[in-house]
Amino acid sequence: MARKTTKRILIALGVAGLLGALWLTAVVVSGFSEGFSPGGSYAEDFNEEYLVRGASGDKVAMINVVGEIFSDPENTSPGASDTNIVARLRYAAEDPAVTAIIVNLETPGGGVLASDAIYDEVREISEDLPVIALMGDVAASGGYYIAAGATEIVAHPYTWTGSIGVIAMIPNVEEAAGKLGVSLNIVKSGELKTMGSPFRPFTEQEREIFQSLIDEAYEGFVEIVSEGRDLPLERTRELADGRIYSGAQAQELGLVDHLGDRETAFERAKTLADSPDASLVVYRPIVGFLEALNPFALSSPTDQVIEELGVLRKPGASYLWIP
């Protein structure tokens, strides 16, 4: 009996030691993955995947912008974060074999600053390389903002795009709080310190202030579209009333260059780059050892719900289409 007990103890200790060694190895290996973060990758953490193999060494890189666009300075969340997308754009632009870029947009838009950061990168790269904005089912608001910086825009006839405008949503829970018997004691340094409080309606002064902030961001959006699409400012304002356009309607109005799909965008990219035999590539993040062991490390269920529903991650103005 004593021998059996000793044997079991030794087996248990062996298993525990093995698990401990695996954990330690994972920590060490993970520590060597510089620049890696759970939500995406920096340049050194990309794998290149061929979607179409051409006969030459030239490449057209496709960068996917899928879901709500949001700011993530630490690059800790999956999805269309500005850090994630800009890293891929720069990686493509720095590859001497890449002769053109396709920005594949499947997004209702998102944060003002995040959309602008991606637009700036697209605009800068388009000065040296052809950049084709490819619109999927939805490429609205911040998605269109980014597309305005591209060399050309390709949309499907039934794409939903446009929604050129700015929105901020500030909830009012005053009635619900009253029913629950919830009240606030507030001590503040100035009359407007609690502007936007969800526990009371706006004052007229507060509404005017918020509207001025929205109008300022809106004017910036209109100028971006006017410049990118070579449209007069007043004509752009007429189109920028927040409405959604189909891809076909957008082309008629001068907001889109070509109607088609990924193949159309690929052909346009090769034509503009004079690379008829180029390959089409996309970048995938390299998953670290710890992340491979944890299926939820790269994308938690909460992150997936947020990405699918387009839930705003923080207060503020957004270039976002919200039905």
Residue 149 covered by a domain: yes
CATH code for the domain in which residue 316 is found:
3.90.226.10
Torsion over CA of 69, 70, 75 and 80, rounded to 10 degrees? -10
What pLDDT, on a 0 to 100 scale, did the predictor assign at position 50? 96
Residue 270 covered by a domain: yes
Residue 217 covered by a domain: no
Q: The pTM is what?
A: 0.79
Mind spelling out the 3-state secondary structure of the chain? CHHHHHHHHHHHHHHHHHHHHHHHHHHHHHHCCCCCECCECCHHHEEEEEEECCCCCCEEEEEEEECCEECCCCCCCCCEEHHHHHHHHHHHHHCCCEEEEEEEEEECEEEHHHHHHHHHHHHHHCCCCCEEEEEEEEEECHHHHHHCCCCEEEECCCCEEECCCCECCCCCCHHHHHHHCCCCCCCCCCCCCCCCCCCCCCCHHHHHHHHHHHHHHHHHHHHHHHHHHCCCHHHHHHHCCCCEEEHHHHHHCCCCCEECCHHHHHHHHHHHHCCCCCEEEEEEECCCHHHHHCCCCCCCHHHHHHHHHCCCCCCCCEEECCC
Of the residues 37, 115, 126, 141, which is catalytic?
A: 141
Q: Known catalytic residue: 193?
A: yes
What pLDDT, on a 0 to 100 scale, did the predictor assign at position 33? 37
Distance CA 77, CA 306 (A): 11
What pLDDT, on a 0 to 100 scale, did the predictor assign at position 293? 47
Distance CA 310, CA 108 (A): 8
Of the residues 7, 56, 193, 300, which is catalytic?
A: 193
Residue 208 covered by a domain: no
Ordered per-residue pLDDT tens for the chain, 323 residues: 555 556 565 565 565 565 555 545 544 444 443 333 333 444 456 789 999 999 999 999 999 999 999 988 776 666 788 999 999 999 999 999 999 999 999 999 999 999 999 999 999 999 999 999 999 999 999 999 999 999 999 999 999 999 999 998 888 887 887 888 887 888 889 888 888 888 888 899 999 999 999 999 999 999 999 999 999 999 999 999 999 999 999 999 999 999 999 999 999 999 999 999 999 999 987 655 444 444 444 444 445 554 444 444 466 789 988 87
Number of structural domains, the chain? Answer: 1
What pLDDT, on a 0 to 100 scale, did the predictor assign at position 258? 98
Residue 103 covered by a domain: yes
Q: Which domain holds residue 147?
A: 35-166+241-320
| Token pair of 62 as six digits | 């496709």
